[in-house]
């Protein structure tokens, strides 16, 4: 594990807000069209940002983790999320579809290879993409590790984290009748795919609120309010639930750990909050043990969100370290 003393020369401050210099929509299938944007330096080192959820979409603040003078910063909304269309659509929406989309976007933007950055579900997708296309990846930054294993889903959606957040858990639990509480993920699937839109919205709000109330070490009201936004909540909850019911569309429970050898050579930084309730540290630790060559930084006073001060600082520092190594080549 890396000590603080090894990073004194790297900035940890978020970069100022910037606007995209180009954006557009890329049709990736007969059904789906993705929103994408580029900011920073058009001639800089490309980095692709993989958002969480799945279904979370990107936001302008995501650009601030990267030096805009060095990096060509690419953000996009995954299928059904953010500005991509159709909204909250589950058809042709699998991990393998998203990996194909990332490649289509890379080719569309005429990028030979790029750095990959992903947190939470974005870390899952970053690992899966990099294992599928290791020759296209120059470096990886991961945050809030999520390997989409059964024990991780059970921890957060079947009552584990309720021991820490019983007040936030009860509204999530109480939406489901007692006779359906044997599997909350399945019970929510039924409601999130109901023919009655009001049932869909009620389930989406409850699902999203549970995650938003547990994503920070200290409650963040701005984040919690996202759970009240029906449009955001519907995509967030439906797509997350769809992926979790289908076990990430992976062929085995430990698929990502089993394929680390494909990316072991890629310089990688892992940032993990000690008190992450959504993606508990057991997953980052399992990844660290399987991949000791990757740098693991545990932020002792942080939960899950990339926007917590300690997490944000370490993400900037991780990008700075990769930047420094790239410049030194």
Active-site residue list: 120, 276, 304
**Do 79 and 208 belong together in one domain?**
no
The answer on pLDDT for 226 being more than 80 is yes
The answer on pLDDT for 7 being more than 60 is no
How far is 39 from 69, CA to CA, in rounded Å?
A: 10
In angstroms, how far is the first alpha carbon of the chain from the final one? 24
**Do 243 and 254 belong together in one domain?**
no
Domain residues for 86? Answer: 4-149+250-327
pTM: 0.96
How far is 239 from 312, CA to CA, in rounded Å?
A: 26
φ, ψ at 304 (rounded to 5°): -100, -40
The CATH number of residue 315's host domain is 3.40.50.1820
**Do 242 and 313 belong together in one domain?**
no
Tell me the pLDDT band of 10, cut-offs 50, 70 and 90: confident
Domain count, the chain: 2
pLDDT over 70, % of the chain? 97
**Do 22 and 138 belong together in one domain?**
yes
For residue 124, with 0-12 CB atoms within 10 Å meaning exposed, 13-18 middle and 19 or more buried, which class applies? buried
The crossing angle, in degrees rounded to 10, of helices 197-214 and 230-245 is 80
**Do 138 and 259 belong together in one domain?**
yes
SS3 readout for 171-222: HHHHCCCHHHCCCHHHHHHHHHCCCCHHHHHHHHHHHHHHHHHHCCCCCCHH
End of a domain among 248, 268, 284?
248
Residue 329 CB neighbour total at 10 angstroms: 5
The answer on pLDDT for 156 being more than 80 is yes
Residues 254-297: tens digit of each pLDDT: 999 999 999 999 999 999 999 999 999 999 999 999 999 999 99
How far is 282 from 288, CA to CA, in rounded Å?
A: 10
Confidence (pLDDT) at 4:
43
Cα 239 from chain centre: 13
Confidence (pLDDT) at 9:
63
**Do 176 and 278 belong together in one domain?**
no
**Do 123 and 256 belong together in one domain?**
yes
**Do 139 and 106 belong together in one domain?**
yes
Burial profile 16-55: b = 16 or more Cβ within 10 angstroms, e = fewer:
eeeebeeeeebebeeebbbbbbbbbbeebbbbbbbbbbbb
End of a domain among 191, 216, 248?
248
Question: C-alpha distances in angstroms, 25 versus 44, 77, 210?
Answer: 22, 10, 32
**Do 117 and 22 belong together in one domain?**
yes
Mean pLDDT along residues 29-43:
98
Q: Do 140 and 267 touch, CB atoms closer than 8 A?
A: yes
**Do 171 and 136 belong together in one domain?**
no
How far is 179 from 177, CA to CA, in rounded Å?
A: 6
**Do 208 and 61 belong together in one domain?**
no
| Token pair in block for residue 106 | 């890379």
**Which residue, chain included where needed, has tokens 């993705």?**
34
End of a domain among 192, 227, 248?
248
Mean pLDDT along residues 56-74:
97
**Do 12 and 144 belong together in one domain?**
yes
**pLDDT, the chain, mean:** 95
């Amino acid at each position: 594990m890396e000590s603080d003393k090894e990073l004194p020369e790297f900035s940890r401050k978020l970069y100022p807000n910037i606007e995209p210099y180009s954006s557009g929509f890329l049709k990736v299938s007969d059904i789906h069209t993705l929103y994408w944007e580029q900011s920073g330096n058009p001639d800089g080192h490309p980095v692709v940002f993989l958002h969480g959820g799945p279904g979370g979409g990107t936001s302008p603040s995501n650009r601030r983790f990267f030096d805009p003078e060095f990096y060509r910063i690419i953000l996009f909304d995954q299928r059904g999320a953010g500005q991509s269309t159709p909204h909250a659509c589950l058809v042709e929406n699998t991990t393998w579809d998203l990996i194909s989309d990332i490649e289509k976007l890379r080719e569309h933007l005429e990028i030979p290879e790029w750095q990959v950055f992903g947190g939470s579900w974005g870390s899952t997708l970053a690992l899966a993409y990099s294992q599928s296309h290791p020759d296209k990846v120059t470096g990886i930054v991961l945050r809030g590790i999520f390997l989409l294993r059964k024990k991780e889903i059970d921890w957060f959606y079947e009552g584990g984290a309720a021991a820490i957040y019983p007040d936030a858990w009860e509204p999530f639990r109480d939406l489901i009748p007692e006779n359906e509480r044997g599997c909350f993920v399945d019970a929510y699937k039924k409601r999130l795919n109901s023919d009655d839109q009001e049932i869909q919205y009620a389930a989406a709000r409850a699902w999203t609120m549970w995650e938003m109330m547990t994503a920070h070490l200290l409650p963040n009201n701005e984040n919690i309010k996202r759970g009240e936004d029906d449009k955001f909540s519907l995509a967030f909850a439906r797509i997350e639930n769809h992926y979790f019911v289908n076990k990430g569309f992976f062929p085995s429970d430990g698929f990502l750990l089993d394929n680390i050898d494909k990316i072991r050579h890629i310089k990688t930084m892992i940032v993990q909050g000690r008190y992450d309730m959504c993606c508990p540290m057991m997953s980052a630790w399992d990844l660290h043990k399987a991949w000791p060559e990757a740098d693991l930084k545990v932020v002792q006073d942080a939960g899950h969100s990339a926007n917590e001060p300690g997490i944000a600082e370490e993400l900037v520092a991780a990008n700075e370290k990769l930047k420094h190594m790239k410049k030194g080549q």
